[in-house]
Amino acid sequence: MKVTITGATGFIGQKLARRLLDSNAIVAADGSRQSITELTLHDTVPAPDALTDDSRVRSLSGDITDSALLAEAIPGDTDSVFHLAAIVSAGAEEDFELGMAVNLDATRNILEILRHADGTPKMIFASSCAAFGGDIPNIVEDMTATTPTTSYGTQKAIGELLVSDYSRRGFVDGRSLRFPTVVVRPGKPNKAASTFASSIFREPLQGQRAVCPVAPDAKMWLASPRSIVENTLHAHNLAANAWGASRTVSLPGFSLTVAEMAKALETVAGPAVAGRIDWEPDPFIEKIVRGWPPAFNTKKAAALGFTQDEGMEAVIRAFIEDELNGKIAA
């Protein structure tokens, strides 16, 4: 099978790529498990050597808004596309044109490329809980109407509708996954409004201070990188008829206040580490974060067999194991 990942050098993209290469088999359109013969990794920068050393990997770097390059990344015999590339929340809010070009126009371009490809390719679209906002119930149900209050959330909600309609018409076999806020992200902070949710763990665990720009009582819907990667692969491997009328699912997560997140850090790593969090309010970030739903009832995801994290303390320990070689800075 030939598979493409957009946004492939992001941390989820790299982890998904490694998971696909290690498994070497995913479910094809006919339900059979088939080996991956080519994995194209597309992003603004080349894929790392740790991935390109595999002879099955093809790395393409450039702007996802470049239609010719996108067509090169998704040749006509592509079987599956994992579309992870995006301009994240605060970035899309600050630069409307760029957010529309990457988050909406590129998504439709991918759907059009797949529409004219051989057969009915699968498309896994990384959506977001930011598709909801404003005056919504405390717990979002599977059938709650999307009411985004940011440009990013609007672009993701439109993407979900496009994926569903292209699937309804038989152009693609699409699946849209509403990601919770993913913690703990390795690397450095990005332009996501939620980037602090990883920083308040990542930096203190490495002996550095971190700024929390929201009040302690702000509540967030969270999931770990491990569960996101496994659930993304699970979504791909589900049979098309398992999805029902809607091709969208809110992925499982867990709901915590930022104060509870900090308490979990203290439980795992001690008060000295948790004391490296500086509470400095930022009204711009606070407004975005408080506009997101704090909790979801992921009944559909559970019925489809998606997995859920054990909780924040387990997620922190997994980050220490996966990214810090099991070591916490004193």
Which residues are part of the catalytic machinery? 152
CA atoms of 255 and 32, how far apart (whole Å): 36
The whole-angstrom separation of Cα 150 and Cα 36 is: 37
Burial class (CB in 10 A: 0-12, 13-18, 19+), 213: buried
Angle at 119 between CA 116 and CA 121, to 5 degrees: 80
Q: Are 227 and 307 in contact (CB under 8 A)?
A: yes
Q: Alpha carbon 120 to chain centroid distance?
A: 24
Closest CA to 305 of 218, 223, 233, 256: 233
Q: From CA 71, how far away is CA 41, in angstroms rounded?
A: 13
Burial status of residue 86 (CB atoms within 10 A of its CB: 0-12, 13-18, 19 or more):
buried
d(CA 170, CA 15): 30
Distance from C-alpha of 25 to C-alpha of 91, rounded to nearest angstrom: 35
Token code pair at residue 224: 């770990």
